[in-house]
Amino acid sequence: MILVVDVGNSRIKAAVFEENKILEIFIFTKIELEKKIENILKKFQKLADLVISSVGDVDKQAFLAFASVVNVNFISNTNAFPFENKYSTPKTLGIDRMVLAAGAVLTFPNQNRLVIDAGTCVTYDFIDKENNYLGGAIAPGIRLRYESLHNYTAKLPFLTLEHPKDLIGNSTPDSIHSGVVNGLVYEIDGFITDYKSRYSNFIIILTGGDTDFLAKRLKNTIFANSNFLLESLNQTFQYKIKND
**One-letter amino acid of 47:** L
Of 49, 57, 59, 96, the active-site residue reads 96
Return the percent helix, strand and coil in the chain, to nearest 5.
35, 25, 35
| Rounded Cα distance, 91 and 133, in Å | 13
Neighbours of 23 (CB within 10 A): 13
Radius of gyration of the CA atoms of the chain, in A? 19
Question: β-strand 49-54 against 71-74: which pairing, if any?
Answer: parallel
CA distances to 33, 42, 62, 144 from 38, rounded to whole Å, are: 9, 6, 11, 32
Question: β-strand 121-127 against 132-140: which pairing, if any?
Answer: antiparallel
166 is catalytic: no
Residue pair 72/52 in contact by the 8 Å Cβ criterion: yes
Helix 142-151, helix 183-198: angle, nearest 10: 130
Q: Which residues pair with 121 in a beta bridge?
A: 140
**One-letter amino acid of 23:** L
**One-letter amino acid of 180:** V
Annotated catalytic residues are 96
